[in-house]
């Protein structure tokens, strides 16, 4: 059997914008070109956010190109002192080049959505042609790219008045990189309208050349006007609650200017409207700033209800009771936001929970106690939601009452019996199980510690499964009997809505994950199909960053070496002195304190939980992969696979 060559010549170094063209899905959405256009729109919005410019104009040209124009400062056109190329050229041709890394006082952008420096360079990489026109320093300057390369170098076109500043970028997206070249009009309109909402008084226009149509948005009332328009005639339980607060220069917890602006409406019926933004970037998948809003609203309403003795005996208010009928628009400003992935759909910054929650709770506390009648109405609405939830849980309990099994002795159960809320953590080792028990939220999180490695159950008959104590305990704890892919499994007795595999972030932990995933795929496939199985992702590293200026000391957790490298590079770009931070490597979950385990791995607001599914391959291909990896008689096939794929492994020695 020929063994594939793997030597020095096998290593290929991708340069310039080539990585983007090779793997566009890593950098942007590839279903249509809207996201690469949004990168340019976001840059124009960042200029307005920084206090420059009064308009953003987007034109859909008849030839399929799109131009975005603003009246900001204009991208610098002078030579870069180190790279010896015009700055505007670097911005469009180099990954990790941009004005948004400079967060120091006096930096070009204190708050912005662009963080990675791969924004408009990705736009250029995936376009057939891109033209940049910059008005700056009393002149108009033009630069043209074709297929990501400079085709017409930067040149001065004409002299203009010194007050004439701004940038116009015209893009011809290359259709070969996208599923469809058609830009979804509704999504584009939503993106532009939201910029007008968040930038009070800024005029945003959309011009469609084919039809001659022009649409303009300008909201003097900002968030309030937008939410009112979105809710239309829905009946509101209380008037809109709105506010904003930003950290002052002497704030000891947050950087000056960090904070949030929000408007919240509680409606009696109809759909809820929920939109959130970080530094003007739309976070459609929510994140930690939304978690902070929910936490702040809940704590304020709960405090008010308890102060006025409104909660009936036996009723327990939960965050979802307050949040169920809440519509909101939230706009947070975070100095160094951490997003999930380059497309920035979800905010991951842990500090944002505390930032938004604190400001919202204080504001709502004051508002409710100044408007007691409205406070009572809101509290009563939340109490009704709690009572309805309790009644629903009781119905479920009655249906599950027959055939009760004795729960495993080592299971630390939770108080709630509502599968829509409950979670079971299958934890590697007794010491980690102890930390998890202390760190969990006992209201809805249960812990089942596992001793050693679970049996490889791929070729174990179903009627022999319970001979293994660990598998027996897992099956009894979750309340579902083992079944096959073709069986009609009864999930009505399922005790936990989420079953989370929690193991060390090392090779042994990965092995335990695979053994448990084998068990669920082979003997509990309906749980996987219904989306009940998850893998918790604990961090491998902790970075302790010392206090600097007014910024307090902080801890940053990293999942792996790649994330650690990114964090260290970011600290250097922030001006933190090299070597002043310390790095700790967790040998295992047992090393983490209860507080650390809660903050990084178990807290629903700040953890990273990965849902388990069959993915693009589908069930049959997944079964074949498991057969090759876990089957006792498949050693030859495994060897062949390892020889072919072994060089892709990240070895932990």
Residue 504 annotated among the catalytic residues of the structure: yes
Q: Of the listed 321, 428, 470, 605, which one is catalytic?
A: 428
Other C-beta atoms closer than 10 Å to the C-beta of 618 total 9
Distances (CA, A) of 556 to 432, 543, 545: 21, 5, 8
Q: What is the 3-state secondary structure (H, E, C) of 50-78?
A: CCCCCEEEEEECCCCCEEEEECCCCCCCC
| Those residues with Cβ within 8 angstroms of residue 309's Cβ, 6 or more apart along the chain or in another chain | none
Q: Of the listed 295, 504, 599, 605, which one is catalytic?
A: 504
Residue 508 annotated among the catalytic residues of the structure: yes
Report the C-alpha gap between 489 and 520 in whole angstroms: 13
Report the C-alpha gap between 170 and 66 in whole angstroms: 6
Among 178, 157, 244, 602, which residue's Cα sits nearest to residue 412? 602
Query: What residues form DSSP beta bridges with 67?
Result: 59, 170
β-pairing, 274-278 vs 326-333, is: parallel
| Those residues with Cβ within 8 angstroms of residue 570's Cβ, 6 or more apart along the chain or in another chain | 336
Q: Of the listed 506, 529, 563, 591, which one is catalytic?
A: 506
| Those residues with Cβ within 8 angstroms of residue 588's Cβ, 6 or more apart along the chain or in another chain | 428, 429, 432, 504, 506, 509
The torsion angles phi and psi of 379, rounded to 5 degrees, stand at -65, -40
Residue 428 annotated among the catalytic residues of the structure: yes
Report the C-alpha gap between 330 and 85 in whole angstroms: 40
First vs last C-alpha separation in the chain: 29
- Residue 312 burial class via C-beta count within 10 angstroms: exposed 0-12, middle 13-18, buried 19 and up: exposed
* Residues annotated as catalytic (active site), given as ranges: 428, 504, 506, 508
């Amino acid at each position: 059997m020929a063994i594939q060559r793997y030597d020095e010549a096998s290593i290929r170094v991708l340069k310039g914008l080539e990585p983007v063209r090779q793997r566009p899905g890593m950098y942007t959405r590839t279903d249509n070109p809207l996201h690469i256009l949004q990168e340019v729109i976001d840059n124009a919005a960042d200029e307005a956010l920084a206090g420059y410019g009064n308009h953003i104009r987007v034109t859909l040209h008849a030839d399929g190109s799109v131009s975005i124009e603003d009246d900001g400062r204009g991208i610098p056109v002078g030579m870069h002192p180190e790279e010896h190329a015009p700055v505007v050229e670097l911005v469009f041709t180099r990954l990790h080049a941009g004005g948004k890394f400079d967060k120091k006082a006096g930096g070009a952008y204190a708050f912005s959505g662009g963080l990675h420096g791969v924004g408009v360079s990705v736009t250029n990489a995936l376009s057939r042609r891109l033209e940049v026109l910059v008005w700056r320093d009393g002149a108009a300057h033009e630069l043209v790219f074709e297929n990501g390369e400079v085709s017409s170098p930067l040149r001065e076109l004409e002299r203009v008045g010194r007050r004439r500043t701004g940038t116009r970028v015209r893009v011809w997206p290359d259709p070969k990189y996208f599923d469809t070249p058609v830009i979804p009009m509704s999504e584009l309109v939503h993106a532009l309208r939201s910029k007008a909402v968040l930038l009070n008084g800024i005029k945003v226009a959309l011009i469609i050349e084919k039809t001659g149509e022009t649409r303009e948005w300008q909201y003097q009332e900002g968030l309030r006007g937008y939410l009112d328009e979105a809710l239309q005639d829905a009946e509101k339980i209380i008037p809109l609650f709105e506010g904003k607060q930003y950290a002052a220069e002497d704030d000891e917890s947050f950087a000056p200017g960090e904070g949030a602006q929000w408007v919240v409406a509680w409606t009696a019926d109809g759909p809820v409207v929920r939109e959130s933004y970080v530094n003007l970037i739309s976070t459609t998948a929510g994140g930690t700033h939304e978690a902070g809003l929910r936490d702040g609203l809940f704590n304020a309403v709960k405090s008010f209800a308890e102060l006025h003795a409104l909660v009936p005996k036996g009723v327990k208010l939960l965050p979802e009771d307050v949040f169920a009928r809440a519509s909101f628009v939230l706009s947070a400003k975070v100095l160094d936001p951490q997003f999930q992935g380059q497309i920035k759909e979800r905010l991951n910054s842990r500090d944002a929970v505390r930032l938004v929650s604190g400001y919202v709770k204080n504001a709502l506390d004051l508002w409710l106690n100044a408007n007691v009648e409205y406070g009572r109405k809101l509290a009563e609405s939340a109490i009704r939601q709690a009572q309805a939830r309790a009644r629903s849980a009781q119905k479920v309990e009655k249906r599950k009452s027959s055939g009760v099994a004795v729960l495993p002795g080592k299971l630390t159960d939770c108080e709630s019996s509502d599968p829509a809320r409950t979670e079971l953590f299958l934890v590697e080792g007794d010491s980690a199980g102890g930390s998890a028990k202390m760190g969990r939220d006992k209201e809805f999180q249960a812990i089942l510690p596992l001793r050693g490695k679970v049996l490889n159950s791929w070729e174990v008959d179903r009627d022999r499964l319970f001979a293994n104590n660990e598998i027996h305990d897992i099956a009894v704890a979750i309340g579902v009997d083992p079944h096959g892919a073709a069986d009609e499994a009864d999930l009505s007795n399922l005790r936990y809505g989420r079953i989370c595999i929690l193991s060390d972030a090392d090779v042994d932990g990965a092995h335990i994950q695979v053994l448990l995933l084998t068990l669920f795929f082979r003997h509990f496939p309906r749980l996987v199909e219904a989306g009940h199985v998850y893998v918790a992702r604990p961090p491998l590293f902790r970075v302790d960053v010392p206090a600097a200026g007014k910024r307090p000391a902080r801890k940053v957790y990293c999942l792996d070496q790649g994330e650690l490298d990114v964090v260290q590079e970011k600290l250097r770009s922030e001006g933190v002195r090299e070597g002043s931070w310390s790095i700790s490597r967790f040998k295992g979950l047992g090393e983490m304190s209860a507080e650390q385990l809660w903050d990084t791995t178990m807290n629903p607001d700040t953890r990273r939980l990965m849902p388990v599914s069959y993915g693009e391959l589908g069930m049959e291909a997944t079964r074949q992969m498991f057969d090759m990896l876990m089957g006792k008689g498949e050693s030859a096939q495994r060897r062949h696979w390892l020889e072919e794929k072994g060089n892709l492994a990240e070895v932990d020695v």
